[in-house]
Copies of this chain bind each other. A is one copy, B any other.
């Protein structure tokens, strides 16, 4: 029997209503619910107001049997989530001796006295079970009454996601129908989101597996969630259909990262890489050097602040004068030059116009990518201007995809 569970997410905090922080908790929880087979009704943000909180909780429970609340578990008078849940369940909070002891011990470890107002973090109501919070002082609440569930988690995202993974999701799985739910993500590149959506249109007619399209800077991710005893087979079928539709435009799955894949190929073959960035301003160096194990294959990178620096490092001034600083010629020479300067097997260059500046005569956003290896140089032109990505990561991934392409061509992949 497939009981249909419905949820509502409530994010609590005046700082949210003042726009002081962006709420990432709600979106995170929303992406997790399909993995449990739970449908989401609505997401609401409420302030630190007992009447509004209580009303929001009651309204949520009218249409949802599972309510997830984040925020409002701090020690101050403005932290009212516990009070609101108590009012809604009609139960009185009392201090739980074990929780109080934990709290006092925690402060003791920091050589501090527990401030008096923190005692409310040791409250429980009869229908609540405390949820461990290893990264903060506030335990969560897991409340079950009259067939309704309320899970209250802390506001700080790090505390919330750990409590979700370790405490809330496992408890939800126990109360849900015992069905298998599996998910698999396929990562595509090089096709605009609207086109990807059309190419996978037929999958939307099916509820099982269900499909979600997630646009990221490293491409469009397609996440399938399958339920039931055939879940594994359904995902395999979906994967085969995707291969037919997308072919080599699927570059990875699940937790694959492009820089990790490239790093794996280089590490396996013992080849080294160096980068020079004009336009992507260090973003590629950042991605590569923060990949675990990169010190083995990534020799390092140069970020050129100006043409003078390019010339100082070996780009002939007459090439810049003849072809312009943003040209396939300069991109190729930069890639070859950095390969030699850093004694690397492969050089990657971006010769481009950063998002915030323009070079006379060139369209804004124009970038050239160059890859140099022992057999020579290859260059490509890109223009990501319409995406307006201030982080520069989209351009950086654009360059890394060309590197991937070239490594596959050179049979290094």
Number of interface residues of A (CB under 8 A): 72
Whole-angstrom CA separation of A294 from B29 in the bound complex: 41
A 369-396 to B, binary, CB cutoff 8 A, 1 in contact else 0: 0000000000000000000100010000
Question: Is A289 an interface residue, CB under 8 A from the partner?
Answer: yes
Please judge, given known A-B contacts A44-B44, A212-B18, A312-B342, whether A299 and B306 are in contact too, CB under 8 Å.
Answer: yes
Please judge, given known A-B contacts A16-B43, A19-B29, A158-B388, whether A356 and B292 are in contact too, CB under 8 Å.
Answer: yes
One of A45-53, A98-106, A173-181, A182-190 contacting the partner? A45-53
Nearest CB of B to A260, in Å: 11
Q: Does B308 lie within 8 Å of A299, measured CB to CB?
A: yes
Q: Does A46 lie within 8 Å of B52, measured CB to CB?
A: no
Residues of B within 8 A of A26 (CB): 19, 23, 45
Q: Does B47 lie within 8 Å of A45, measured CB to CB?
A: no
Question: Is A282 an interface residue, CB under 8 A from the partner?
Answer: yes
A 393-408 to B, binary, CB cutoff 8 A, 1 in contact else 0: 0000000000000000
Nearest CB of B to A217, in Å: 13
Question: Is A302 an interface residue, CB under 8 A from the partner?
Answer: yes
- State the majority secondary structure of interface residues on A: mixed
Please judge, given known A-B contacts A17-B43, A27-B21, A30-B17, whether A306 and B301 are in contact too, CB under 8 Å.
Answer: no
Whole-angstrom CA separation of A283 from B343 in the bound complex: 24
Question: Is A303 an interface residue, CB under 8 A from the partner?
Answer: yes
A 210-238 to B, binary, CB cutoff 8 A, 1 in contact else 0: 00111100000000000000000000000
Question: Is A202 an interface residue, CB under 8 A from the partner?
Answer: no
Which single member of B27, B214, B289, B312 contacts A282 (CB below 8 Å)?
B289
Q: Which A residues form the contact surface with B (CB < 8 A)?
A: 15-24, 26-34, 40-47, 52, 56, 158, 212-215, 274-275, 277, 281-286, 288-292, 294-296, 298-309, 312, 342-343, 354-357, 388, 392
* Leading 9 A-B pairs by shortest Cβ distance: A19-B31, A282-B282, A19-B30, A285-B303, A43-B45, A282-B285, A298-B305, A300-B305, A300-B309
A-B contact list, 19 entries, CB within 8 Å: A15-B213, A16-B27, A17-B43, A19-B28, A20-B212, A20-B215, A21-B27, A22-B23, A23-B27, A26-B45, A41-B47, A41-B52, A44-B44, A281-B286, A281-B289, A282-B282, A285-B305, A294-B305, A312-B343
